[in-house]
Amino acid sequence: MSEIFDYFSGNYAQARRAFREAAASVGAALHTHHNPATGPGGIELSTETARLGAQDAERLLVVISGTHGVECFCGSGLQVGLLKSGLAAEMPRGTAILLIHAINPSGFAWVRRVTEDNVDLNRNFVDHARPHPVNAAYDELREAICPRDWINGQAAADATLEAFRQRHGIMALQSAISSGQYGDPEGVFYGGRDLFRERSTPWLWRSRWPLARRSSRAERAPRLSDSATRCRRRSASGCIRPGGPRRRSPRRKQAISLTRFPTSHSPVERECTDEVSERSSPGAYPETDEQPSG
């Protein structure tokens, strides 16, 4: 039996190959859905799906990794572990499992939270036919949240954020920054103006596998499970470490939780971004499916 650490990969290309091999080893129905964007060194990007169980199963468990690309280091490992450990084959009678690997392959490959269009998928699942939520506090603080000049504008930005916190409280500041916004495509936690599907994952909304058979037994409809748990990278070792669960409402608590990846303002992520940019220069990667591990 494989060691648990063998389930986890050091980069997108390794994780994709590991998932494909694990799915093939258990006879899962494997499909590849290409993304027209490219990764570092021009590598191709794709989302893989693996399905186990009868096509006419009454229930379908959907496990997604990589809603936030950088978190797919964890989610991919959990999915590979489900397959290689044999747990995925132990579904109750009448239940099938669908694993969606790296639903945000660009974010995974570039070690970013968002898609190639800067869309935060976790803020994108809203009814875009209705007016989008307005985040007036974000609009007020936009220049402090995302300063145009990080070097010379950081002190003034910090002062603006601190003044807002003193007036309204820390929770109001957190909500202003992270609750999502739909008017600033270059800002943080941008939810997009429409459903993000045309370039990346159109198959998900036209899936050949319905989530559940239409029946009067509505309680049997599946719940979506996102195995893309929260991660962060140490600036020194570059490894992913476990941590305590985040405090949030009981409905959204997860059995396994890792400490959050640093925000876009963190020197650690800026280091990672700079490193990826350097590696993505022409000739940085050989023309192969492999990427050098970080």
Mean pLDDT score across all residues of the chain = 75
Residue ranges making up the domain that contains 176: 130-192
Q: Please tell me the predicted confidence (pLDDT) of residue 52.
A: 95
- Is 203 found in the same domain as 188? no
The answer to whether residue 74 sits within a structural domain is yes
Grade residue 70 by pLDDT with cuts at 50, 70 and 90: very high
Lowest mean pLDDT among 72-81, 108-117, 187-196: 187-196
- Sequence-ordered list of residues with C-beta below 8 angstroms from that of 280, at least 6 positions apart, any chain: 40, 41
**Does residue 83 sit in the same domain as residue 150?**
no
Give the span between the Cα atoms of 182 and 179, in whole angstroms: 11
In this structure, the answer to whether residues 173 and 250 fall within a common structural domain is no
SS3 (DSSP) at 281: coil
Residue 204 above 60 pLDDT? no
Cα–chain center distance at 88? 21
Q: Do 92 and 156 fall into the same domain?
A: no
pLDDT grade for 1, boundaries at 50, 70 and 90: low
Can you tell me which residue has the tokens 């920054």?
Answer: 177
Shared domain for 144 and 215, answered yes or no, is no
Q: Show which of 139, 163, 192 is a domain's final residue.
A: 192
**Residues 78, 38 share a domain:** yes
**Is the pLDDT score of 262 beyond 80?**
no
Q: Residue 96 contacts by C-beta under 8 Å, 6 or more apart in sequence?
A: 51, 52, 53, 54, 55, 57, 59, 60, 61
Q: Render pLDDT for 265-284 as a digit per residue (tens, 0 to 9).
A: 333 333 333 444 443 333 34
Ramachandran assignment for 199, one of left (phi > 0), alpha (psi -120 to 50 degrees), beta (any other): alpha
pLDDT for residue 2? 65
How far apart are alpha carbons 179 and 141 in whole angstroms?
13
Residue 272: predicted pLDDT: 36
> What's the domain count of the chain?
2
pLDDT digit string, tens, across residues 71-108: 999 999 999 999 999 998 888 999 999 999 999 999 99
Q: How far apart are CA 288 and CA 188, in angstroms?
A: 33
Output the CA–CA distances (angstroms, integers) from residue 4 to 77, 222, 268, in the order listed: 9, 27, 27
Same domain, yes or no, for 21 and 86? yes
Instruction: State how far the Cα of 35 lies from the Cα of 42, in Å rounded to an integer.
Output: 12
Residue 213 has pLDDT above 80, yes or no: no
How high is the pLDDT of residue 185? 94
- Last residue within a domain, chosen from 147, 164, 192: 192
The kind and range of the H/E element at 196 are none
CA–CA separation, 24 and 196 (whole Å): 29
Q: How many C-beta atoms surround the C-beta of residue 123 within 10 A?
A: 19
| Predicted local confidence at residue 197, as pLDDT | 61
Mark whether 211 and 98 lie in a shared domain: yes
Shared domain for 223 and 105, answered yes or no, is yes
